[in-house]
Structure 1
Amino acid sequence: MKDKKEEVRRMLLNYYGKIASGHRKGCCNEVLSCCGGPQKNDEVFGKLGYSPDVFERVPREANLGLGCGNPLRSACLKRGETVLDLGCGAGFDCLIAAGEVGEEGLVIGVDMTPEMIARARENAEKAGCRNVDFRLGDIEKLPVADESVDVVISNCVINLSPEKERVFREAFRVLKPGGRLAISDILALKELPQEIKRNPDLYAGCISGAVTAEEIERILRKVGFVDISIEPVPGSSSFIRDWAPGVGVDDHVTSALIIARKRV
């Protein structure tokens, strides 16, 4: 099992490292084709609920088209809060959040891919953001202090982890009492067929690692979260089916918004 987890880790490092360095366009390859350049990325993120004026504040280079929802719509960020983004990528959600929490707040982005962290820091420099801190690390073992974060966000990342319970335990650990979880992710609608589960491209493309809403709720309750809400994103099948044309993945997975709270 340990070897399998390490194999997944190496595959993801290679896959997303190539995206960050420009050697792979978004999640595209011989199977997946969800991207189409900056204009397509903007179009998809518009459908996910991001306002057009966000690109007046955030460099377009930060939008790699890798999200499946908009966790910030439900994060209800306040001035002065500390926000943690699990799997921050090139920094898109972090830079938006930085504007919402203001200079007195802090946004921490954690990503396992060195190329992504480098790109996120470049984008923060372009945006003139001084209240962001991008850290190289694993979401299963966060480089973040206990009870130091008000809100944990994530966008289409936790499905990639083969150790989802560890991820949520870490999120619980770093949240302050009363802290909030607001996550957009891909969830399975039913048991995934073996041909999907065994496809490495579909795993890296946020499909094969998805589990059901029932499983996510079970983990959240086991870890200690309360006030749990898991709601599918309306219309998400319209862009999910484009991730793997002809495979029918939209019959098996959906984008969902996961909200929970750490008890005071």
Structure 2
Amino acid sequence: MSQPSPYFDNLPTRINKGDRTAGMAFGKHIHWGYWENPQSATGTLEDFAGAAEALSAKMVEIAQISDNQTILDVGCGFGGTISYLNDHFDYLKLTGINIDGEQIKRARELVKPKGNNSIDFINANACAIPLDSLEGDRLLAVECIFAFPSRLEFFQEAYRLLKPGGKLTICDFLPVPWFAGIWQYWENKLNPRIATTYGTAKSSNPVFSFISLSQYQELAQKTGFKLATVVDITKNTLPTYPIVNRIMREANPNSTIFNTTEGLAIISRFGWMGYLILDFVKE
């Protein structure tokens, strides 16, 4: 039996063909959900869509975004976080970056500037952003840095594009220290399976490249950033997994690709893999 195409690689096609589930769950945001009270999660697509919006809102809160700022959202997907910023703030210069041209096309169709905001979407690699020194106030990367070609090169780009005192705010899956070595050992073995579910922007890159908090601290020091804030929201994201597993089963009922998400759910529930928001300041 041939392996099904990666679900997330084909999202634009699924949505354009009228796939209601894909459109409701991932038509605006392509990331996990955030529930302030995880027990309140209902398991519906509508609830998940609201939680995905809430994750963007949480990122914006921690990044301390306000009016009259220049914001760059790298790995912007369909522009969901740009849309949130456009709805809630004024006098923003917003730029979304994504390596997937189809996702950028949809973002341009969906998100139009409101009030005194300006919006631009650019099809580009996160580690080679075709912008001059942006003098940006804030740079966001919402649940995407693990798929970038190099965290080091991305942090260097962020440093180049931010003004002194500017902030880089990311959310990522972080293994606890003792599990980090185990994960890295198994990473190459697991990535082909992961790719069947989530796809990969570039075949030569690992699909999921996870590093520990101490490695992030070392990366920050190496690139001129200070890790200012760490917020563990693992428990707030756990209701995502049953929903995404159900979506995977419905999309490919004869496949076992949903096991990838279930595996991530298990190690997250056991506390071996965290979901954290990290806020860095350019020194």
TM-score, normalised by the number of residues in structure 1: 0.72
Measure, in 2, the Cα distance between the counterparts of 1:227 and 1:211: 15
Matches within 5 A, 1:181-260: 181-189=168-176, 190-191=179-180, 192=183, 194-199=185-190, 200-202=192-194, 205=198, 208-236=208-236, 238-239=238-239, 241-242=241-242, 244-245=261-262, 248-250=266-268, 251=270, 252-260=272-280
The alpha carbon displacement at 1:45 in A equals: 3.5
Provide the residue aligned with 2:80 in structure 1. 92
Q: Cα deviation per residue 1:185-211 (whole Å; 9 max; x = unaligned)?
A: 222222216445422343674983111
- Answer yes or no: is the 8 Å Cα contact 1:82–1:149 preserved in 2: yes
CA distance in 2, matches of 1:37, 1:147: 33
Determine the C-alpha separation between the residues in 2 that align with 1:225 and 1:134.
26
Shift of 1:99: 3.2
Which letter does structure 1 place at the counterpart of 2:144? V
CA gap 1:239/1:221 in 2 versus in 1, 3 angstroms: farther
Equivalent of 2:98 in 111, 115, 120: 111
Structure 2: give runs of 5+ residues left out of the alignment.
1-5, 38-48, 200-206, 245-260
Partner in structure 1 of residue 64 of structure 2: 76
**Aligned-residue offset at 1:95:** 1.1
Cα 1:106–1:24, aligned 2, differ >3 Å: closer, same or farther? Answer: same
Q: Which has the higher helix share?
A: 2
Distance in 2 separating the partners of 1:48 and 1:211 = 26
Greater Cα shift, 231-240 or 251-260? 231-240
1:20 to 9, 12, 16: 12
Match of 1:166 among 145, 153, 161: 153
Tell me: CA distance 1:81–1:68, structure 2 relative to 1, closer, same or farther (3 Å): closer
1:66/1:156 contact within 8 Å kept: no
What is the rounded CA distance, in whole Å, between the counterparts of 1:174 and 1:185 in structure 2?
21
Q: 1:148 to 1:63 in 2, by over 3 A?
A: farther
Contact 1:106/1:132 (8 A) holds in 2: yes
Counterparts of 1:113-152 in structure 2, within 5 Å, are 113-125=100-112, 131-152=118-139
d(CA) in 2 for partners of 1:241 and 1:138? 28
SS of the equivalent of 2:33 reads helix
Root-mean-square deviation over aligned CA pairs:
3.5
How many positions carry a matched residue from both structures?
226
Q: Please say if residues 213 and 230 of structure 1, whose CA atoms lie closer than 8 Å, have aligned partners that are also in contact.
A: no
TM-score after normalising by structure 2: 0.67
Between the aligned partners of 1:221 and 1:196, the Cα distance in structure 2 is: 25
Q: 1:142 to 1:36 in 2, by over 3 A?
A: closer
1:233 CA displacement: 1.1
Task: Decide which structure has the larger Cα Rg and report it.
Answer: 2
Cα shift readout 1:7-44 (whole Å, capped 9, x = no counterpart): xxxxxxx764412332799xxxxxxxxx87626999x6
Q: Which amino acid aligns with 2:75?
A: G
Change (3 A) 1:141 1:183: same
1:63 Cα offset (Å): 8.6
Asked if the contact 1:233–1:256 (Cα under 8 Å) also holds between the matched residues in 2, the reply is yes
Percent of matched pairs sharing the same residue:
19
- Contact 1:82/1:101 (8 A) holds in 2: no
Instruction: Tell me the alpha carbon deviations over residues 77-117 of structure 1, each in whole angstroms, 9 at most, x when there is no partner.
Output: 12110100010000000111123441x22110000000010
